[in-house]
Structure formats: C-alpha cells, structure tokens
Amino acid sequence: MEPVLKHSWNLSEMDAVKLQQELSLKIVKEDQLTKINHVAGVDVAYSEHSDKLIAAIVILDASSLHIIESVVVEDTVHFPYIPGLFSFREIPPLLKAFKQIKTLPQLIVCDGQGMAHPRRFGLASHLGVLFDIPTIGCGKTKLLGEFRDPELKRGSSSPLVDHGEVIGAVLRTQDNVKPIFVSIGHRISLATACERILKLSPKYRLPETTRQADQLVNKVLADLQRE
C-alpha cells in the first residue's frame, strides 16, 4: 500500500508547520466511504533506552473484529518530539509498515488526533490525506479544546470546541467509563466517525483497532528490550 501524496520528511520545525497548514486544506470532512470490510489500527511504541521504535499495523475484519493481518516494523527515531508535530515522528515508520500489508483497509483508526489539533491536521488527518483513505482520530486524552462531560451511558457524546469551532466529539464508549476523543481524519463525517468507533468498541473503552495495535507494539518492544 503506497501513499498517493508524497513529501519530504527531512523538514525543519517551521517547514513542517507550513506543510501542515497547506495539507489541512485537502481534508474532506464529509463521508466518502466505500463498503468497509477491513479496518486498520496503527500504533508506534518507543524504547526508553535507545532511539529504537516499533511501528505496527493491525487489520481487523470490520464485522467480527478478528485480526486478519498484522505487520510490525522496527525503526529508529528520525524527528524530534515537538508538540503538534507528532505525525512527522510517527508516519515515516508507519509508511514502511503499510508497504508490507497485503489486506487493504477501507478505514484507518489512529491512536491520536485528526482535526482536534492546533492546525486541524493531526496524525489521523496527515495519514488520511497521504493515502487518500477515510481515517479517524481517536485519542485517549485531549490535545486542546473545551467540552462538557457527556452523559454516563454508552454512546453519549458532547462536542469538543476550540475558539467556537467544533473540532471533535467526546464519546462515551462504555457505561460509566472515561470518554475518548474522536475527530475527523479524512473522508468521514464526525457523526459517522463516532458510529464507527462505537462499533469497534463493543467491550472496552478503546476501539479494538487501538487495543490490538497497542498490545502488539508493546509486546514486540518488550521482547526487543529483553534481547
């Protein structure tokens, strides 16, 4: 699986911010979905003791949520940790992983933000625009914005607002558990993104895409550090 849009990753902080601002104009905020048979979850884990990282993609059957395929890539960090420029650190190793997958997903769910980002262009939006594929940002924590707590029942939500603009939704995926932060990545509406995340979260707070990818990268990283 190759990106349809390519750009240099060897960028200064200023050039990376400028690129985000340019590419954010390409985001499609409405549903442009084909039939979703397979959903991808992506995650990256970093070694505490070196510059090594593990990037993983897990492909799930959209109906059963069973794992169809998984790919793991070992790489090194090439971009510094700069708040708001997370995608420039995580996407290069993920691109290497996407090259190896055989089952093409119709939707990607990212453990991070989409439009709920200072420049409305977080990891999920960046990945979505590069591949021109529907993507959802699904963060465990808020990056920015204000909200009221949604009701305690599964499926309840409230808008995440920044300077008067709705940038995402605060979604309760299980009764009486902490909500998660859902935002448009690309080619999907916020309402459909929330519906999809609920379908991917039948038992736990986090969607299965995130849970499975997170478990995989952490297991591989732990094995690597034991060597």
Question: What pLDDT score does 152 carry?
Answer: 97
Buried/exposed 142-167: b ≥16 CB within 10 Å, e otherwise = bbebebeebeeeeeebebbebeeebb
**pLDDT for 225 beyond 80:** no
Exposed/middle/buried for 27, CB within 10 Å: 0-12, 13-18, 19+? buried
Predicted confidence (pLDDT) per residue in 14-73, tens digit: 999 999 999 999 999 999 999 999 999 999 999 988 899 999 999 999 999 999 999 999
What pLDDT does residue 205 have?
A: 97
Can you tell me whether residue 136 is helix, strand or coil? strand
Residue 224 confidence (pLDDT):
78
* Residue 172 to residue 182: CA distance in whole angstroms: 10
Return the pLDDT at 227: 66
- How much is the pTM? 0.96
Q: Which 8-state DSSP code applies to residue 165?
A: E
User: Does residue 135 contact residue 188 with C-beta atoms inside 8 Å?
Assistant: yes
Q: Are strands 165-171 and 157-162 parallel, antiparallel or unpaired?
A: antiparallel
DSSP 146: B
C-alpha distances out from residue 171 to 47, 121, 151, 176, 205, Å: 31, 20, 9, 12, 10
pLDDT mean across residues, the chain:
96
User: What is the structure's pLDDT at 48?
Assistant: 86
Q: What letter does residue 200 receive in the DSSP assignment? A: T
Q: Characterize 206-227 residue by residue with b for buried, 16 or more Cβ atoms within 10 angstroms of its Cβ, and e for exposed.
A: bbbbbbbbbebbeebbeeeeee
pLDDT tens-digit map of 171-195: 999 999 999 999 999 999 999 999 9
